[in-house]
Structure 1
Amino acid sequence: MKKWSLLALVSALLLGCGSNDAEDAIVDTVGLDIDSLSSEEKQKYAQISTDINTLILYIGGKCFDAESERNLNMALTGFTCNIADHKDAASRTQFSSISLISGMLDITRSSETEFKIQTKENVKFHAASISDGTLNYRLVDDNAINFTENETGNNTASFRGFFRDDKTADVTYWTAESLGTTPFIYNDDNNSQFSWLSGGTGKITGKDDKSCNWITTADGEVELPLKEEY
């Protein structure tokens, strides 16, 4: 479907219901064709969908540290974070190549150890392994990254977000989310200079509610199950 047709559809859906419902309706109607993807292509989409969340978590942590230094005597409950100030963070992913462009994060701290990350402006980035266009990642309303610091050091993260691929021909949409009661573990290794999400299960959903599940290894590499479920 061409871009002008999609704009009309998106406008109608956004006016007709809550924005996350609208996003899901767009994905179901004109989303990524999961059935047409090879196993290798599914793995690449899953890796990019995982790693952009990893980078947002890393950047959010850097912004929190900077805000804390500027406000030593004030407990932080919320702050914004400009992706453009942290483009070099993209080098921290070891299984995908991502180039960050822009975006604005809105981070809420609900307790001493719990944070919610959403997008004030879409996170825009390039990922040549899946697209020649600009990718947009949107986290609004019920969609968010939730991060919890734990005393054991196993900091955890769960997420659900909406992707738009503004590629040359047709625009493509999909959602990605973590699954189950066991969230991903967020890892950040200053020695290796890598960050990653491990030990979790995720799902990409595309057109006609077709989906692809994946897991991440201990070092953050995406693996598809031996038998894929739809």
Structure 2
Amino acid sequence: MKKWSLLAFASALLLGCGSNDAEDAIVDTVGLDIDSLSSEEKQKYAQISTDINTLILYIGGKCFDAESERNLNMALTGFTCNIADHKDAASRTQFSSISLISGMLDITRSSETEFKIQTKENVKFHAASISDGTLNYRLVDDNAINFTENETGNNTASFRGFFRDDKTADVTYWTAESLGTTPFIYNDDNNSQFSWLSGGTGKITGKDDKSCNWITTADGEVELPLKEEY
């Protein structure tokens, strides 16, 4: 099937469904070929998928701080944030080179400690280690980044999102998600301006429902398990 036919197929599915089912169908049919990736390439995809969530969480925190200053008695409702207002001050990740381009975040605070981040439009970014094009991260419908502030100081994060890589050779899709049994811990070092997700387990899913699992070290570096699950 030609590239334009695949895009038409993907667009029709996205427009016709309001849940993860459409995205899963796209990934399963025309998604990233996990089997063709080397271990190094898998690690790069997993690291980028982890670190873009890290940067969105960091910017989400900056947005919340700015909103709180404007509205000291802010109710536990949602607000919108423009990534462009904060991307130049975005915390760096230690193991990826990511350039944020644009995006709007919808942030819902459901309690004193619970936050959900989604998007009205794709978050656009560039990661040279895996692509020569623009990457898009979709966080709508059932997709979201969830963040919980814990009294212990170990603030946790979980995520599930849909990636599209508009590279020049061919468009590629994949999903990345945290696995609920081992949520990630969000770390933010204000002194070095690094942020990272540690201690969690995630999964990338591509074509033919093939997947690649990973874990993160205490400083946020992705490690592939010795035995990968499919």
State TM-score, norm by structure 2. Answer: 0.96
Distance 1:173 1:17 in 2: 17
> In terms of mean alpha carbon deviation, does 138-147 or 82-91 score higher?
82-91
Provide closer, same or farther for how the CA distance between residues 135 and 57 of structure 1 changes in structure 2, counting only shifts above 3 A: same
| 1:228 shift after superposition | 1.3
Q: Give the Cα separation in 2 of the matches to 1:154 and 1:77.
A: 24
- Deviation at residue 7 of structure 1 after TM alignment: 2.5
Runs of 4+ aligned structure 1 residues displaced above 4 Å come to none
Q: Secondary structure at the match of 2:160?
A: strand
State the 1:17 CA deviation: 3.3
Residue 174 to residue 89, structure 1, CA distance change in 2 (3 Å): farther
d(CA) in 2 for partners of 1:157 and 1:205?
19
* 8 Å Cα contact 2:133-2:166 kept in structure 1: yes
Structure 1 pair 167–126 and aligned structure 2 pair: CA distance change class (3 A): same
1:44-71 per-residue CA deviation (whole Å, 9 max, x = no partner) reads: 0000000000000000000000000000
Contact kept, 8 Å, 1:118 with 1:143, in 2: the verdict is yes
Shift of 1:89: 4.2
Alignment length, in residue pairs?
A: 230
C-alpha deviation, 1:2, in angstroms: 4.4
Q: Is the 8 Å Cα contact of residues 58 and 91 (structure 2) preserved in structure 1?
A: no
Native 8 Å contact 1:28 1:206 kept in 2:
yes
Q: Deviations over 1:74-100 (max 9, x none)?
A: 324111111112222455101000000
Is the Cα–Cα contact under 8 Å of residues 78 and 108 in structure 1 kept in the other structure? Answer: yes
Deviation at 1:15, TM superposition (A): 4.4
Q: Contact 2:213–2:228 at 8 Å: present in 1 too? A: yes
Structure 1 length-normalised TM: 0.96
Gaps in structure 2 of 5+ consecutive residues: none
**Which whole-Å CA distance do the structure 2 matches of 1:133 and 1:91 have between them?**
22
Unaligned 5+ segments in structure 1 are none
CA distance in 1, matches of 2:119, 2:144: 8
Q: CA RMSD in A?
A: 1.3
Distance 1:7 1:69, change over 3 A: same
Q: SS where residue 92 of structure 1 aligns?
A: coil
Give me the whole-angstrom Cα distance separating, in 2, the residues matched to 1:50 and 1:158.
Answer: 10
Percent identical across equivalent pairs?
Answer: 99
In the TM superposition, what are the counterparts of 1:16-95 in structure 2 within 5 Å?
16-90=16-90, 92-95=92-95
